[in-house]
A and B are shown apart, each in its own frame.
Chain A
Amino acid sequence: AQTVTQSQPEMSVQEAETVTLSCTYDTSESDYYLFWYKQPPSRQMILVIRQEAYKQQNATENRFSVNFQKAAKSFSLKISDSQLGDAAMYFCALVHDSGNTPLVFGKGTRLSVIA
């Protein structure tokens, strides 16, 4: 069974500063994908960033980047130059490479951005 753990229920960051959200996971598979999803209040979930497990290079998407440590089964999200619009629930998720299994989500981290 796969598990995803987010140990920070809530985080806050000052506008324009940098924040890192933590995620650890467990899977017996060698090929898988990891994701960070953003869910703003009362709005739908959107994909922030994706990491393929077979890639050593950390994924980046504009102000969002990850620190993927495969041996440690760690997958953290760094948000640089935080903006008010970044305030949301952030979910870490895992799926096996086959795509024949559903996403397994963590419990989420609520990020507040302070002006």
Chain B
Amino acid sequence: DTGVSQNPRHKITKRGQNVTFRCDPISEHNRLYWYRQTLGQGPEFLTYFQNEAQLEKSRLLSDRFSAERPKGSFSTLEIQRTEQGDSAMYLCASSPRGNGYEQYFGPGTRLTVT
């Protein structure tokens, strides 16, 4: 069990560019969550998957954001036409089948939009 991994750990991009982050959950965890954490705040929910199905999306997830989880394994979060307000830590978490309340977090991807 290697834990939840996220890549890249840091991303600096210019406003207007597209970025994509990857999350690899703990093996056999069927649920995967994306959260966003801005400086001085707690994580805020963005979206979550059960297997490959995206079950819920927050109103924070604008049209510029899209997430996928093909084959129910790793997940990607893409932000198109980045804005300075997108600068944040993007956290991924996964939970095992039957224990959706036990979420294990990855190290996060810190995005800086210049």
Name A residues whose Cβ lies closer than 8 Å to a Cβ of B.
Answer: 4, 33, 37, 43-47, 50, 91, 93, 95-108
Contacts and interface: CB of A to CB of B under 8 A. Distances in A.
Q: What band does the interface of chain B fall in when counting residues whose beta carbon is under 8 Å from A?
A: 20 to 34
Contacts of B40: 107-108
Contacts, number: 54
Contacts of B90: none
A108 B48 contact: no
Given A44-B107, A45-B105, A100 B100 contact: yes
Given A44-B106, A44-B108, A97-B101, A102 B56 contact: yes
A33 B101 contact: yes
Looking at B99, B100, B101, B105, the one whose CB has the most chain A CB atoms below 10 A away is B101
B41 A108 contact: yes
A105 B100 contact: no
Contacts of B55: 100
Nearest to B9: A42
B105 A44 contact: yes
A46 B107 contact: no
Contacts of B65: none
Given A102-B33, A102-B35, A104-B45, 6 more contacts: A44-B108, A97-B101, A100-B55, A102-B56, A103-B33, A107-B41
